[in-house]
Amino acid sequence: MALDLTPVKGGRRPRLRLALTMAWRDIRRHKGRSALIMALIALPIFGLSAAATAGQSMLATPQETVLHELGQTQGRLAPLEAINAKSVQAVRGDLGYPSGQGEPDKNFTPAAPADVVPPGYRAIASQYLQATSPVGQAQVPLQAVVTDVLDPAFAGKYRLLEGTAPSGAGQAVGSPGLFSRFGLQPGGTLTTSAGTFELVGTVRDAGVADGKTVLYLKRDQVPASMAGSLSPAVVYLAGGRPLGWSDAQAFNAKGVQLTSRSLILDPPSLAERPVQPNDAASDGRLQNVLSLAVLGSLVGVLALLEVGLLAGAAFAVGARKQQRDLALLAASGAEAGMLRSVVTASGVWLGLAGGAIGAVLGTAAATIGVLAVRAAGQTIFSGLHVQWLGIVALVAVGLAAGWLAALVPARGVSKQATLSALKSGRTADEPSKWTVRIGFGLAILAAAAMAAGGIVAIAKRGDLQMYRWQPLYLGLIIAGAVMLVFALICFTGRIVDLLTARTAWLPIALRLAARDSARNRGRTVPAVAAVLAAATLSSALMVGTASAMQQVSDTYGWQANLNQVAIPLQYEDYDVGPANSNGGAAAVGRGKMVTVDPSKVTAALKSSIGPDVATNVLRGAVSTNSCPSSSVAENGDYIQAPCIGWVLAEPAANRCELAKDAQPIDLGDWRCTGSMSATNFGTFLPPIVVGGEEELAALLGHQPSDAARAALKSGGIVVTNKIYVDDSGKAAVISVDYHAESSQSNGFYVSVDPGSQPAGPTYLRPDFVPLGTKTLAAVVDAPDKPLHFYGVVSAETAKAMGMPVDPRALLITAAGPLSQAAGDKVASSLAPFMGPFGGFSLEQGPPTFVNLMLWLIVVGGALITLSAAGITAGLALADGRNDHATLAGVGADTRLRKALAGSQILMTALLGTVLGVVAGAIPVVVVLALQRGFPTVLPWLQMAALVVLVPLFGAAAAWLLTKGKLPITRRQTLA
């Protein structure tokens, strides 16, 4: 009778049930290995779920935005800073960026927000006031919010935490930070420059952290003497009718912008409003979500890759332990697919359990963290946003990771012949030719993806819509980076063969480790790949961090040399004159110029800092930021008095040529670097300093050269940058009117390309029309830092040129940095001369914690990489236990077996970290190379430390953990 080999209908279901049952029994039998695999899958899922919940909780929803910004009001009105009646606000009002249209209209007078309140609404004005409060000898700056914060219309924005509402003019409320800063309790008294108040309650602002020191007053509590210091009023509208886009247009025509509850919750369509170039920047929530998604995807892919490889190695060891059971199953007639299902079913069980545990625990941890931070009064999280759909997706990712991790070992087991599987001996892994071919294909695809991303970035460089293309080229480069990692993993087996081909000259432990690595590829390749994935992430972070911090250092605007500060000796005091119709400061230009006595400031400094402090009076003509402000005539016209200053003219041949992106065409051009090469607003140094050798040395940060001293004495000028010196060795000193029109429409010279439209003043230098010119012999002596002044001339030279000279700034040089307490003491001593808000802060330069950050990344990367190496070491030792037993049986001592274990991990970790450092650095270098003007820094010391320390620590750990005594093993045979 012939056999009927037709498949039984519905046979897949019993086979699947059998596979799941056998897998579950194997999981219960080997609890340690199963727990390890579940933990490996759960850890990255835990991190991703926690990051997803925390990241989303940082982004306010529209409902949270209106509650925290507007409370229960329908909206608020604020100045639009409009140049004409055609300016258009952002949809989100003052939470976005408005766009101007057309030319400035000198006849346009913007209205005050309080003057355009529509009927049917109750107006609630809100203003800010800068005050001070004494703490010891220091006057501590204190911000006051002037409005009725406990008005029911502000429910949701302000909340009374403790105490009661003020009941009189002598009572007030404050933020929790105000009470802790001044050591007060409800009912305590606080003395400020605005008066003395009994603090009867604690108020929390939903948009301000509790640690901020804020005093909440009502308008009638502000003394008349400080009315001019109030900020322009912002008016909240309490009413029943929502305010839409048509209302916003009406307000915009009057120079006022509307931040509306209705516009935030239900923004108008593009058909209802004009398309604005800054629409994408007006609401950063979507941009932040996309950025977090891209970053999370990259980190998640690398983390899951590492976990999949580690779990795959664990499954490979388990599959080899199951060979006897699987062989018996195959001998009883099970097909290869059935054998694969038994192994992959373990991956499904463990992946599902690991994904669920990681997602639930990560979400729970993030939830607890968000609630704790919010309860502490921090505003980093706008609310708790649990990503339920993300939790389900991450559980599915964990299940897929477990299934994929078990797939390769399952295929390997299913291909073995039944008779070979029944043997207890071990055979060498047969390398596949397709693995290397796939690696070459992935390497080619990785190069193509990175090249395509580079082409897109270069083609769109300088385009105002570049942000639209950024996700495309970054996505291509990230995809290329991931494919590069997989390509290196495919090459790992061949690299191991090449490295272990000639090992006869090595010590016996290394020779045995090399042969074992080449013989057991199924164990070596996943181990190397797991270390590679961890090192890739660490290397990418190190290169990116080092380059970003170098960019910060390169673009830092030095105000003075290290431990120096220049304070103005003349300033305009606006605390005079009546308040304007907006309830804000006095009209522009009604302040008076105040002159500070430098000898009194020096005496106060020597008293507060010490006798070692050095001061130099810097004299010169007026600078751009010291010009008297414009005033407003009765007809609304702006009146600008002439403001004559003295600067150096730049020879046309020395001008820095700019590209479309407003950066130099040649980034290494000497004409585009050094002092005055970029605008540096806010400095108090005179453009041309009038002084002698002492002032010159203080500004330079070193002793002047002999040529510079001779130039000062002979009537020349010492310039800070050779771009101001012509071919004859002379510099042209010109007088200019800062308020006059310049020779270029925007006040700065631009690239020779007439189609160039610079996006900002970076690398642009003033090009004013000269009123008069004096030519002087010039000597270049550059300061230690690129300070913002042209040069130094003697008093006699300035007099001969007719330059008006006044004391402009006092340059203070301290022996070292000051503590916060010392800074408060100095600020207190200078308050009578500079006003309460003059400030005092010594120049400390750009952030110097980059090395600390890099070493923290090295430590973190080393720990992650070591954990991967340690896990693979444990799996290798478990898988090679029979080999160690054989060595012990032929007389090998404990030291040899320990050395063998350490050598195995040394080779695995060294190869993985080297490949990972390369794989992580390449994509980051590609991305940085596409950013013109962005430096690329390879932190060789930190990368070398990662490459050296991880293998050494891993080898040492393997040596220590290898047991001296081995359990008794026996050869098993089938009856």
pLDDT at 550 over 50: yes
> At how many degrees (to 10) do helices 850-879 and 521-554 cross?
180
pLDDT at 867 over 90: no
Percentage of the chain with pLDDT > 90? Answer: 8
At residue 660, the pLDDT reads: 64
pLDDT tens readout for residues 818-841: 776 677 677 777 766 665 445 577
Residue type, 255: G
Better pLDDT: 644 or 412? 644
pLDDT tens readout for residues 131-155: 888 766 556 778 899 999 999 999 9
Name the region of 331 (left: φ>0; alpha: ψ -120 to 50; beta: rest).
alpha
pLDDT tens readout for residues 767-817: 666 777 888 888 988 888 888 888 899 888 888 888 888 888 888 888 887
Better pLDDT: 74 or 297? 74
Average pLDDT over residues 685-705: 88
**Token pair in block for residue 305:** 């890759």
Average pLDDT over residues 262-290: 63
pLDDT tens readout for residues 422-457: 554 444 455 567 778 888 888 899 888 888 887 877
pLDDT at 974 over 70: no
pLDDT at 13 over 50: yes
pLDDT at 421 over 70: no
Give the per-residue SS3 of 611-664: CCCEEEEEEECCCHHHCCCCEECCCCCEECCCCEEEEECCCHHHCCCECCCCCE
CA distances from 910 to 180, 531, 548, 709, 938 (A): 53, 9, 28, 58, 19
Percentage of the chain with pLDDT > 70? Answer: 70
- Distance (Å, rounded) from C-alpha 414 to C-alpha 430? 14
Better pLDDT: 328 or 591? 328
- Distance (Å, rounded) from C-alpha 423 to C-alpha 972? 9
Name the region of 725 (left: φ>0; alpha: ψ -120 to 50; beta: rest).
beta
Q: Which residue has the tokens 């004495």?
A: 713
Q: Which residues pair with 658 in a beta bridge?
A: 664
Q: Are 129 and 146 in contact (CB under 8 A)?
A: yes
Tally of CA atoms within 13 A in the half-sphere of 774 that contains its CB: 18
pLDDT at 123 over 90: yes
Name the region of 320 (left: φ>0; alpha: ψ -120 to 50; beta: rest).
alpha
Residue type, 362: G
| Strands 564-568, 570-573: pairing kind | unpaired
- Distance (Å, rounded) from C-alpha 118 to C-alpha 122? 9
- Distance (Å, rounded) from C-alpha 26 to C-alpha 31? 9
Q: Cα dihedral sign for 655, 657, 660, 666?
A: negative
Average pLDDT over residues 669-691: 77
Q: What are the CB-based long-range contacts (under 8 Å, 24+) for 293-297?
A: 294/471, 294/474, 294/475, 294/478, 296/48, 296/51, 296/52, 296/55, 297/478
- Distance (Å, rounded) from C-alpha 896 to C-alpha 40? 31
Residue 873's pLDDT band (cuts 50, 70, 90):
low
Average pLDDT over residues 665-676: 77
Give the per-residue SS3 of 397-417: HHHHHHHHHHHHHHHHHHHCC
CA distances from 858 to 44, 548, 947 (A): 20, 17, 10
pLDDT tens readout for residues 497-529: 777 777 767 777 777 777 777 676 666 777 787
> At how many degrees (to 10) do helices 521-554 and 894-929 cross?
40
- Distance (Å, rounded) from C-alpha 519 to C-alpha 906? 17
- Distance (Å, rounded) from C-alpha 712 to C-alpha 793? 6
DSSP label of 547: H
Q: Which residues have CB under 8 Å from 676's CB, separation 6+?
A: 720, 721, 723, 724, 765, 786, 788, 789, 790
Residue 756's pLDDT band (cuts 50, 70, 90):
very low
308-317, 749-758, 818-827: range with highest mean pLDDT: 818-827
